[in-house]
Amino acid sequence: AFVGQEWCRPCERGAHGAALVDRATFDCHGGYATSWYHSVGRVQRSTLDGAVYSEAEVDHYDDTVFLENDVISGGIGSMYGTLFVRNSVVAGGVSLTTAYAATTIESSVLRDATCAVTADSADFVVRNTLFWNDTANACGTFLDPVGTNDDAAADPLFTDAAHGDFTLQPG
């Protein structure tokens, strides 16, 4: 477990196991802040400057990565695995390849992406999520979620997102 630490190595990878990252800062701009293969992982209350990637073995449906209360710059990619993104701010989009039905993005902000969600399957849920400053909300076979499941496209009124202050202004 990484708790309250700053950490970066090119393509830091958890494989065939489990890990917890809590209140950590990963400064891996242009690389992977975390990468998971056939693992169960949780990243919470952390700031990740770099991409998050998870990949499961095709027949291992319990390979799950939880991202909760995080700020992620660099996007998220997931192949075959189950992914939960909750209460997080994600810049750079979410790309899902053959995502399993349990994949969920909820109560989050997807921002500053060419495509906020790219998927080759509709077998996942996006709900209570805000799309902000994205060129497109959805690409691939996934339909634009704005207007369903309380998803919307609007400015979240962050205090100063350009300088990392994601607290909300009144309104």
Phi, psi torsion values for 80, nearest 5 degrees: 70, -25
Residue 122: per-residue pLDDT: 66
Q: How far is CA 20 from the centre of its chain?
A: 16
Q: What is the mean pLDDT of the chain?
A: 84
Residue 81: per-residue pLDDT: 76
Whole-prediction pTM: 0.87
